[in-house]
Structure 1
Amino acid sequence: MDQADAGRATAKVADRDRLYIDGEWVTPLDALPMPVQDPATEEVVAHVPAAGSGDIDRAVAAARAAFGPWADLSPAARADHLDRLLAALTARAGQIAATIAIEVGTPFKVAQRVQTGLPLTVLRDYVALAREEIEPETIGNSLVFREPAGVVGAITPWNYPLHQVVAKVGAALAAGCTVVLKPAELTPLTAYLLFDAIDEAGLPHGVVNLVTGSGPVAGSALAAHPDVDVVSFTGSAATGAAISRLAADRIARVTLELGGKSANVILQDADLAKAVKVGVGNAFLNAGQTCTAWTRMLVHRSVYEEAVDLAATASSGYVTGDPFDPGTRLGPLVSERQRDRVRTYIDKGLADGARLVSGGPDATVPARGFFIAPTVFADVDPDDTIAQEEIFGPVLSIIPFSDDDQAVAIANNSRYGLAGGVWSGDEERALSVARRLRTGAVDINGGAFNPRAPFGGYKQSGVGRELGQHGLSEFLETKAIQR
């Protein structure tokens, strides 16, 4: 057995034919099997149920029945439940990482560190936050209370299939809400491992429920359900708008974490080699399938050509291949459809006159699997399609600017506003530029990701925040009592 086969064996991938509703593994009412594909081999590796509205009804009813008792538990009791879940999930860390490498195509080492390690950290934080009593605030003659919002419908994406689930489910449970989860149809196997842990941890029946299925059927039924109080969705802006319309008919609360087209601003006094290396790595993380990816590299004209050369060199180090091969730095895209979509954007960049400096449609990639070579374009016009639309693949656009004001204008020339970076030898200058960017998060000189800081975006990048106390607050209602 070679290393790739051994890694796949670790995942123990198999068909799953049940849903998790009201604390039990149950047979779906009427569900066809839905295939799960390994994007590195193009093989179907498992099937799960494609459930429908009837199963959503069952799951929501279970969550509604469980809401009162769960909300009434003390913070310490809820935290104890989450702590047991954390232990059960941590024990499955290796299997989870291998499963994500199969479902998403993330290189196994990255799946261990980011796809698995990060959500375990996030859940650990929510265990701690769940223990904290939320004291009422006194405002004049009023007592202001924060109370659990109710039943949460969580609809999650495929690119980070555990992290995006834990960011919603962990926060909602810590706040005292109950949950129905509809994971992405491309990556449901990771959600099953989470629910194996939930079952082992013995969470009260109905507190958290799993229904797999397609977005148009199961996702729409969940978003439109009259007994769902909060819809929490992560995905594309177009789908987020559709989710909002479904929830609007009953005036339900909606939190949305949507797309991005983030700018990495490199000023002329930056450590250029570090800024470009880190920027390329950020853009190519998870094969570019990351909503916060810095896919626009903005570079001062005085160091522009040097930066282009550095980016081309850095890009050449991203070897494509099997996710379980230790030498692989760039796995496949998640599906054939996603690969073909990214190819279309690369062709569009060439047609619009951008200068190809690395990768492109003729670059060598493995013959089997949904691979795209790491691609870098220079001389990209800020209004070009590849500079405006979220590609969700390993494609980086480099754009020159002349001064700080122009850099800010180019960075803000986007309908998105999720993340970004600023690099400068003068931290105050970098902070000044960062404050002017219309985006939810900015890293200065490669500042580390903080899983307790609020995460979310401006403009079409979403509504609301996830992670830490800010994420927990999205699942609380505010009540004022006058005395």
Structure 2
Amino acid sequence: MASEKESLITVLEHKDIYIDGAWRPSAGEEVTEVVNPATEQVIATVPASTVKDVDAAVVAARAALRTWSRTTAAERRAFLDRLHQGLVQRADEIAALVTAEMGAPRQISTQVQAGLPIAVTASYVRLLETYEFEERIGNSLVVKEPMGVVAAITPWNYPLHQIVAKVAAALAAGCTVVLKPSEVTPLNAYLLAQIIDTIGLPAGVFNLVPGIGAVVGEALVVHPDVDMVSFTGSTRAGKRIGELAAATIKKVALELGGKSANIILPDADLESAVRDGVANVLRNSGQTCTAWTRMLVYRDSYERAVELARDAAESAAVGDPTDERTQVGPVASAAQRDRVRDYIADGINQGARLVAGGVEPPAGLPTGYYVRPTVFADVTENMTIAQEEIFGPVIVLIPYEDEEEALRIASNSLYGLSGAVFSASEERAVAFARRLDTGMVHINGARLNLLAPFGGYKQSGNGRELGVYGLEEFLQPKSLQLPASASSGRTGP
């Protein structure tokens, strides 16, 4: 078996795109550089696919759909099981690759960046053992059929997890896929394509066209032979996709931004709640759409919470993401670092109290796209840093007088993706969580369930990923109305 280093070299040196079951050159000659955010060095280049490449990929996916959509659940399960095994075998490479191309600390890359796609693929293998693609309702036979050709457009923050959450579910449903990964982190998609190339998946079922959103992404969205677009990214880009997709009335599933509230109720264990809240935001250097970036604290406990948040942020180990001791690595790109620092400066200018961090780079790290873990206090709910998604290691603390005010502040957002509630009483926390306008709420720090639906309210998007809900995003129901004599129960009108 090739060593981790040798296998990574095959990914880093790949110069082709993957269409119709084969590696082939792009129709164009432009490339995209992949930069290691810790060293600021170019570690690879990948083709910048063209509209012609997109056409070829969609043609291949459309041709493959005729047979792939008619495979049995057991046949698709066998392919996904082999994909799962391939991901397990190359887990160490995945972790090293994601650390190299987007800066996630190695511990996070191992447990999350590699661990989540492995777990998600396994969940769809198990789901296909029991999921019923047909059901009888009165005199109707309802069959759940694949949506068709799916364009999967994915982000850079959890690159392989977001790819697999779409690709595994789409393949399980019987769809074919054209994948456009983020141009910031395309290398993990190459590793996935390498695995797929070895498991015997029929040609055209999976296709990889790296490139920039304005070219490849938009070409996929407007393509008349693409039946569905599944996109994860910014709300701004999601709006653009919705506008373009409207011309062909194709289905669009959007997992967009967030500005999640962490509500610490008066009876909560304050130290534990604040510690968990800060850790949640700093994980992946704050580049998590579900991060609990607004910490709402009962006014009587507020100054103590500020002190605890400051201590937690300042004690986090920031540095080289390949060092097992590092907790906070760089953000993914120079553009993202500048964006986060601009938000920090804006918070200071608007009068928020800077408790920890700031716009200056961390001491001793002259190279790399690092941002200091930053905590703001005395933040009002309408400040920019309390309303807009920063996507960096920045936490804002907002006081409240009572639960009704906490609920109002938490709901004062364009977003509704995630959130958290801490309380000594689980019953009280659940009752409060039911009133929040958000797609997911963590009670007392509970972990993510990969079988539960993931997705948002309001401008955090539409549709759901993971588990049965994720599978059904890629299915459409057809009703076969049978003669009454062939069915039991009541007939329709």
For normalisation by structure 2, the TM-score amounts to: 0.95
Residue correspondence of structure 1 range 407-426 to structure 2 within 5 A: 407-426=406-425
SS of the equivalent of 1:446 reads coil
C-alpha deviation, 1:85, in angstroms: 1.1
1:267 paired residue number: 265
CA distance in 2, matches of 1:298, 1:165: 33
Contact 1:130–1:175 (8 Å) recurs in 2: no
- Whichever residue aligns with residue 244 of structure 1, its letter is G
1:428 paired residue number: 427
1:16 paired residue number: 14
SS of the equivalent of 1:364 reads coil
Contact 1:75–1:132 (8 Å) recurs in 2: no
2:447 paired residue number: 448
Residue correspondence of structure 1 range 28-43 to structure 2 within 5 A: 28-43=26-41
Matching residue within 62, 81, 84 for 2:82: 84
1:400 paired residue number: 399
Contact 2:4–2:92 (8 Å) recurs in 1: no
CA distance in 1, matches of 2:200, 2:6: 27
Q: Does 1:192 align with 2:184?
A: no
C-alpha deviation, 1:447, in angstroms: 1.0
Matching residue within 298, 302, 305 for 1:304: 302
CA distance in 1, matches of 2:99, 2:429: 36
SS of the equivalent of 1:162 reads helix
Contact 1:149–1:475 (8 Å) recurs in 2: yes
CA distance in 2, matches of 1:97, 1:308: 34
- Whichever residue aligns with residue 120 of structure 2, its letter is V
Contact 1:10–1:94 (8 Å) recurs in 2: no
Query: How many residue pairs get matched?
Result: 478
C-alpha deviation, 1:226, in angstroms: 0.4
Offset from partner CA, 1:160-189 (integer Å, 9 cap, x none)? 110000000000000010000000000000
Structure 1 unmatched ranges of 5 or more: 1-5
C-alpha deviation, 1:279, in angstroms: 0.3
2:469 paired residue number: 470
Q: Does 1:111 align with 2:109?
A: yes
C-alpha deviation, 1:90, in angstroms: 1.3
SS of the equivalent of 1:249 reads helix
2:459 paired residue number: 460
Going from structure 1 to structure 2, the CA distance change for 1:31 and 1:248 (only over 3 Å counts) comes to farther
Contact 2:416–2:457 (8 Å) recurs in 1: yes
Moved more, 117-126 or 321-330: 321-330
Structure 2 unmatched ranges of 5 or more: 483-493
CA distance in 1, matches of 2:340, 2:244: 29
Going from structure 1 to structure 2, the CA distance change for 1:305 and 1:140 (only over 3 Å counts) comes to same
Contact 2:361–2:370 (8 Å) recurs in 1: no
1:357 paired residue number: 355
- Whichever residue aligns with residue 253 of structure 2, its letter is T
Contact 1:10–1:98 (8 Å) recurs in 2: no
SS of the equivalent of 1:226 reads coil
Q: Does 1:346 align with 2:335?
A: no
2:243 paired residue number: 245
SS of the equivalent of 1:147 reads strand
Contact 1:67–1:151 (8 Å) recurs in 2: yes
- Whichever residue aligns with residue 323 of structure 2, its letter is D
For normalisation by structure 1, the TM-score amounts to: 0.97
2:149 paired residue number: 151
2:316 paired residue number: 318
Offset from partner CA, 1:302-323 (integer Å, 9 cap, x none)? 1111111110111012121110
- Whichever residue aligns with residue 190 of structure 1, its letter is N
1:3 paired residue number: none
Contact 1:17–1:49 (8 Å) recurs in 2: yes
C-alpha deviation, 1:11, in angstroms: 3.9
Residue correspondence of structure 1 range 97-246 to structure 2 within 5 A: 97-246=95-244
C-alpha deviation, 1:363, in angstroms: 5.8
Contact 1:260–1:417 (8 Å) recurs in 2: yes
Computed over aligned residues only, the root mean square deviation of the Cα atoms, in angstroms, reads 1.3
CA distance in 2, matches of 1:97, 1:364: 25
Moved more, 22-31 or 380-389: 22-31
SS of the equivalent of 1:17 reads coil
Moved more, 461-470 or 25-34: 25-34
- Whichever residue aligns with residue 380 of structure 1, its letter is V
C-alpha deviation, 1:199, in angstroms: 0.6
Contact 1:270–1:423 (8 Å) recurs in 2: yes
CA distance in 1, matches of 2:8, 2:104: 14
CA distance in 1, matches of 2:410, 2:368: 34
CA distance in 2, matches of 1:30, 1:345: 37
Offset from partner CA, 1:256-293 (integer Å, 9 cap, x none)? 00000000000110011110111001111110000000
Moved more, 123-132 or 228-237: 123-132
CA distance in 1, matches of 2:266, 2:12: 53
Q: Does 1:376 align with 2:378?
A: no
Contact 1:257–1:464 (8 Å) recurs in 2: yes
- Whichever residue aligns with residue 329 of structure 2, its letter is G
C-alpha deviation, 1:31, in angstroms: 3.4
CA distance in 1, matches of 2:349, 2:270: 29
Going from structure 1 to structure 2, the CA distance change for 1:306 and 1:26 (only over 3 Å counts) comes to same
C-alpha deviation, 1:392, in angstroms: 0.3
